[in-house]
Amino acid sequence: MKPRTLIRRTIAEIGRNRFLFVLSLLFSLCSVIFALSIPVLAGQAIDAIRENGTVDFAGLKTPLIRIVICAVCGGILQWGIGVLNNRIAYHTVKNIRNKAFIRLQQLPISYLDSHAYGDIVSRMISDAEQLSDGLILGFSQLFTGLITIVITLLFMVGVSPAIAAAVVILTPLSLFTARYIAGQTYDLFRRQSETRGEQTALINEMIGNQKTVQAFSYEEKALERFDESNRRLNKVSLKAVFFSSLTNPTTRFINNVIYAVVGLMGALFALSDHITVGMFVSFLAYSTQYTKPFNEISSVITELQNAFACAARLFELIDEPAQSSDRDLPELPPAQGEIAFRGVTFSYDKTHRLIENFAFHTSPGKKIAIVGPTGCGKTTLINLLMRFYDPDVGEITVDGTPITGVTRQSLRGQIGMVLQETWILHGTVRENIAFGNPNATENEIIEAAKAAWAHEFIMRLENGYDTVIGENDSLSEGERQLLCIARVMLRKPPMLILDEATSSIDTRTEQKVQAAFMRLMEGKTSLVVAHRLSTVQDADMILVLKDGRVAEQGTHAQLLAKNGFYTALYKSQFAPD
């Protein structure tokens, strides 16, 4: 994204807080006027002391009182500016972060599969924080500084147009220097944000899989990867800070030259009685006030460049194409459970087809088992049926209705799904079971837990159904999977998908859960993805996949009688070599 476009979009987001923004500008304007009135009043006080070698106490009293009033009012306004700018910055970042999170919910699964989770988290958290810090500093110093420059210049023109002209002629040197360095540092800060995102992804990966890391003695390799990432982050950060740090001393040098020119010209003008000593002192104060914002703005540039680099990564996430909208599509009517795949071809990597010309049909209420070697496309079929992905070619229908012609929510709402990988919501056991049916009664939740054989271990927990659990709780993998099964038990959908749903449960509990599934699957269309063939022998039909195609299909007995690929799979599990 081009810097100008990025700045324009950021300003548009800030514009959503117009009232606070205008109020902040008004406060800044008044604060600057009060601050710049003090040098004029100080000059009047000096002239009152100098006049005829005596002190005009009556003339001295008024400017001193006004100086105090200006200082107090300016201080109050500065406090108000800080409060307003903080609100503007945090509200702006809150809105951007909300947009990013909303877009995250709308993105296709393919985006999440192709991007590291840690990098996405880094954009949502770290980059958003960097943006808010940059905006706060920018509001606090940039706007006030610009207003100070303009008003100070007007004051100086009022005192001495000639000296003011010299200041204006020299000022662009400072601006051009700051702009050139800022252009060089933007790319460096962007690379810094990207590298920080990579490092966050690595840390997230290592922490989430620490048991595996230790089990395979991967600690040294993980440290090497982290050191390499850390070195790159250190290198690009030092470069970014080095180049950005050149701005401040360079502009300070130019501003000191301006101050020296003002001092020399002011002294000559005072000696020739073109201005009074008080006016000369005021002008020196104004030249300092005039050059000071340039120093502050140059230091702000570093933070702003970092903030804009982070904003670019957030806007990139917001601009990612959302999955195709289904807002205008009708809802899927209450399903009977007739599922059909017609000529479906699909691949995650478009250069290599995973499923090709797949065809399949099942009547309502049937139990269909899907078996085959790893990588043959079993789970992919589930992803297609749930519309996590859409086929490249062909169509999938439910009760004769193409699933691409109905809303995803109405389709998924009629399919119960238990996956190999468990997911537990951070909350109570009750909330986890009622995740898909928040309005369920207490009795319905308990009955679902009993049907999934989860009630017994739940009651052994410290607070029963009110026990708070989450990602790092003490539940075993089998217990977590029982809770996932209870979710489906509670919803009672017309279609079921079980993707190795009992893979983490011991044999005795598996027999109980299988009996519960049999009750749950009565009258429902069920697709059971399995590696253990012992769990699918009672299926109405078994689809044997190989290389993305149906190699064989039939009942368990029919497939054994064919003595084909299924028989080989079966013997590999139950027969000795």
Chain segment 258-305, per-residue pLDDT in tens: 777 777 777 777 777 776 767 777 777 777 777 777 766 666 776 777
Average of pLDDT values for 141-165?
Answer: 77
Let me know: does 337 contact 528? Beta carbons within 8 Å. no
- Higher pLDDT, residue 91 or 265: 91
Examine the pLDDT at 421 and tell me if it is beyond 90.
no
Q: Which two tokens stand for residue 320?
A: 């990612």
User: Cβ distance 214 to 131 under 8 Å?
Assistant: no
Q: Read off the pLDDT of residues 386-400 as tens digits, 9 standing for 90 and up.
A: 888 888 899 999 999
For residue 183, what pLDDT band results from cuts at 50, 70 and 90? Answer: low
Q: Are 329 and 405 in contact (CB under 8 A)?
A: yes
Helices 3-14 and 57-106: crossing angle in degrees, nearest 10, is: 110
Which pLDDT value is given to residue 317? 87
pLDDT band of 575, cuts 50, 70, 90: low
Residue 86 pLDDT exceeds 80: yes
For 39, half-sphere exposure in the C-beta direction (CA atoms, 13 angstrom radius) is 22
- Which one of 110-114, 402-406, 471-475, 507-511 scores highest in mean pLDDT? 402-406
pLDDT score, position 556: 87
Q: Phi/psi of residue 541, each to 5°?
A: -150, 140
pLDDT digits (tens, 9 = 90+) for 1-50: 676 787 788 878 887 888 888 888 888 888 888 887 887 777 777 776 75
User: Can you give the pLDDT at residue 402?
Assistant: 92
Which of 79-88, 181-190, 363-372 has the least mean pLDDT? 181-190
Whether residue 90 is predicted with pLDDT greater than 60 in this model: the reply is yes
Instruction: Supply the pTM of this predicted model.
Output: 0.68
Q: Give the pLDDT score at 245.
A: 73
Task: Determine the topology of domain 339-574 in CATH.
Answer: Rossmann fold (3.40.50)
Residue holding tokens 């709780």? 473
Query: Could you state, in order of their start, the residue ranges of all structural domains in the chain?
Result: 3-319, 339-574
3-state helix, strand, coil in the chain (%, to 5): 65, 10, 20
Query: Residue 388: phi, psi to the nearest 5?
Result: -70, -30
What are the strands of the beta sheet with 525-529, ordered from one edge? 415-418, 495-499, 525-529, 367-371, 541-546, 549-554
How does DSSP assign 59-99, residue by residue?
Answer: HHHHHHHHHHHHHHHHHHHHHHHHHHHHHHHHHHHHHHHHH
What is the separation of C-alpha 7 from the centre of its chain, rounded to a whole number of angstroms?
19
> 397-406, 518-527, 561-570 — which one is most confidently predicted on average?
397-406
Top-confidence residue, 246 or 371 = 371
**What pLDDT, on the 0 to 100 scale, is given for residue 437?**
85
Q: What is the pLDDT of residue 360?
A: 86
**pLDDT at position 58:** 67
Burial 66-75 (b: 16+ CB within 10 A, else e): bbeebeebbe
Q: Which CATH class is domain 3-319?
A: mainly alpha
Most confident of 254-263, 368-377, 438-447: 438-447
pLDDT band of 150, cuts 50, 70, 90: confident
3-state secondary structure 113-131: HHCCHHHHHHHHHHHHHHH
Distance CA 569, CA 574 (A): 9
**Would you state the structure tokens that stand for residue 269, as one six-digit string?**
């003008």
pLDDT tens sequence across 543-561: 888 877 888 888 888 888 8
What is the predicted pLDDT for the residue at 395? 92
Let me know: does 478 contact 509? Beta carbons within 8 Å: yes
3-class SS of residue 344: strand
If you search the block for the tokens 């078996």, which residue do you land on? Answer: 371
Q: Indicate if the pLDDT at residue 224 is higher than 60.
A: yes
In the predicted structure, residue 74 carries a pLDDT above the cut 60: yes
Mean pLDDT along residues 336-357: 85
Confidence band of 158 (pLDDT split at 50, 70, 90): confident
Q: Do domains 3-319 and 339-574 have the same CATH topology?
A: no
The pLDDT value recorded for residue 85 is 84
pLDDT at site 302 = 66
Residue 398's pLDDT is 93
Euclidean distance between CA atoms 294 and 254, whole angstroms: 10
Buried b / exposed e across 403-430, counting CB within 10 Å, b at 16+?
A: bbebbbebbbebbbbbbeebebbeebbb
In this model, does residue 51 exceed pLDDT 60?
A: no
Highest mean pLDDT among 88-97, 159-168, 184-193, 235-244: 88-97
